[in-house]
Amino acid sequence: MRPHRGPQQATSADAGDSSLSRVTGSSIKWPPDDDVIAVQRGPEPGGWGGAWRAFASTFRGLANTMARLRQGPVTIQYPEEKTAVYPRFRGRHKLHVFEDSGLEKCVGCSLCAAACPAKCIRVVAAENTPENQVSAGERYAATYEINMSRCIFCGYCEIACPFDAITMGNDYELADYERSDLIFTKEMLLADSIERAPLKREGE
163: contact with ligand SF4 by CB under 6 A? yes
CA distance 189 to 175: 16
Cα–Cα distance measured from residue 172 to residue 187, given in angstroms and rounded to the nearest whole number: 19
Q: How far apart are CA 168 and CA 129, in angstroms?
A: 30
Instruction: Pick between residue 13 and residue 85 the one whose CB is nearest to ligand SF4.
Output: 85
H or E element in which residue 121 lies: strand 121-127
Rule CB under 6 A: say whether 189 interacts with ligand SF4.
no
139 bridge partner residues: 127
State yes or no: residue 91 binds ligand SF4 (CB under 6 A): no
Q: What are phi and psi of 112, to 5 degrees?
A: -65, -40
**Stretch of 15-23, 24-32, 44-52, 160-168 contacting ligand SF4, by CB under 6 A:** 160-168
Contact flag: residue 51 with ligand SF4 (CB under 6 A): no
> Which one of 134, 146, 184, 189 is in contact with ligand SF4 (CB under 6 A)?
146
Per CB under 6 A, the list member of 97, 126, 154, 190 interacting with ligand SF4 is 154
Residue 180 DSSP symbol = G
Eight-state DSSP code of residue 193: P
Q: Which residues bind ligand SF4 (CB under 6 A)?
A: 106-112, 115-118, 120-121, 123, 141, 146, 151-157, 160-161, 163, 165-166
